[in-house]
């Protein structure tokens, strides 16, 4: 059903910490690995060993540079998967009802058996979070690992998305944004979790934590400099040496 629920009981999603992501692509591959063998049709790779390999991925990591005039530039690794938007335009455009947003937890999914592969939902998504699988002809997107997070067959502590579980740096967090005490709500509040392209009006659930200010870009007051200068006035190096030795 492509009508969006007025509200969802839970608001499950991710917090992605741009201050911590090292750009290792572990989440990209882990996502591909889990989803190609688990949820719906496999994520194919066309021309896999050839000149123009193109595969389907549900999560990709971009790398950006940001630079202010006169300062050193900064590199930001930027993972991006479906943001499970509250006002998901990808859902409402779908002619078949294959795309839907779940009322119980807000996850946006595609019912691959109903999908005709028209690609419209991918057009409607501002974030590039949907990819049409060339071999299967169906739309693929992040499922928030719905087949892990409720999966009774895997240990409870592993019932988190594959990408979150694997992220070595701990840059990805999973939880319920409807619960103000959840890890994601707390983190997002504390670190200024932001929306991507808010002007698109999609109300993304996933939040991004901005990089913390860099000491080489935001000038720091040299509060410590004088620390090293103290010695000068009191007999220099040898004076200090003898004084200190006496104390030992």
The residues that touch ligand SF4, with contacts defined as CB under 6 A, are 21-27, 31, 34-35, 58-59, 61, 77, 79, 81-85, 88-90, 93-96, 98-99, 108, 110, 115-121, 125, 127, 129-130, 139, 141-145, 161-163, 167, 169, 171-172, 202
Instruction: Report yes or no: 68 and 116 within 8 Å, Cβ to Cβ.
Output: no
Among 5, 103, 169, 178, binds other proteins (CB under 8 A): 169
Q: Which is nearer to other proteins, 7 or 46 (CB)?
A: 46
CB of 53: closest distance to ligand SF4 in angstroms?
Answer: 20
Asked if 203 touches other proteins (CB under 8 A), the answer is no
CA distances from 204 to 118, 188, 196, 223, 227 (A): 23, 13, 7, 41, 47
Structure letter (DSSP) for residue 57: -
Q: Which partner from the list other proteins, ligand SF4, none does 200 bind, CB cut-off 5 to 8 Å by kind? A: other proteins
SS3 20: coil
- Report how far residue 203's alpha carbon sits from residue 247's, in angstroms, rounded to the nearest whole number: 63
Instruction: Report yes or no: 142 and 120 within 8 Å, Cβ to Cβ.
Output: no
Determine whether 215 is exposed, middle or buried from the number of CB atoms within 10 Å of its CB (0-12, 13-18, 19+): exposed
Asked if 159 touches other proteins (CB under 8 A), the answer is no
Among 7, 67, 179, 203, binds other proteins (CB under 8 A): 67
């Amino acid at each position: 059903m492509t009508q969006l629920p007025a509200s969802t009981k839970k608001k499950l999603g991710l917090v992605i910490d741009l201050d911590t992501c090292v750009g290792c692509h572990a989440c990209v591959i882990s996502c591909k690995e889990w989803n190609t063998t688990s949820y719906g049709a496999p994520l194919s790779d066309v021309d896999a060993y050839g000149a123009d390999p193109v595969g389907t991925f549900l999560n990709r990591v971009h790398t950006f540079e940001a630079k202010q005039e006169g300062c050193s530039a900064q590199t930001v690794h930027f993972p991006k998967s479906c943001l499970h938007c509250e006002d998901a335009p990808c859902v409402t455009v779908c002619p078949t009802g294959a795309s839907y947003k779940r009322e119980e937890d807000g996850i946006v999914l595609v019912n691959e058996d109903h999908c005709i592969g028209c690609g419209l939902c991918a057009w409607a998504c501002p974030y590039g979070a949907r990819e049409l699988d060339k071999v299967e002809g169906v739309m693929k997107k992040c499922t928030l690992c719905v087949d892990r997070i409720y999966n009774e067959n895997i240990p409870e502590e592993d019932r988190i998305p594959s990408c979150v579980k694997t992220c070595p740096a701990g840059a990805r967090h999973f939880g319920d944004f409807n619960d103000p005490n959840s890890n994601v709500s707390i983190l997002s509040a504390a670190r200024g979790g932001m929306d991507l392209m808010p002007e698109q009006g999609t109300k993304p659930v996933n939040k991004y934590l901005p990089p913390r200010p860099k000491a080489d870009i935001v000038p720091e007051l040299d509060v410590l400099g004088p620390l090293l200068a103290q010695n000068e006035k009191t007999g220099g190096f040898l004076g200090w040496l003898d004084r200190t030795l006496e104390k030992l």
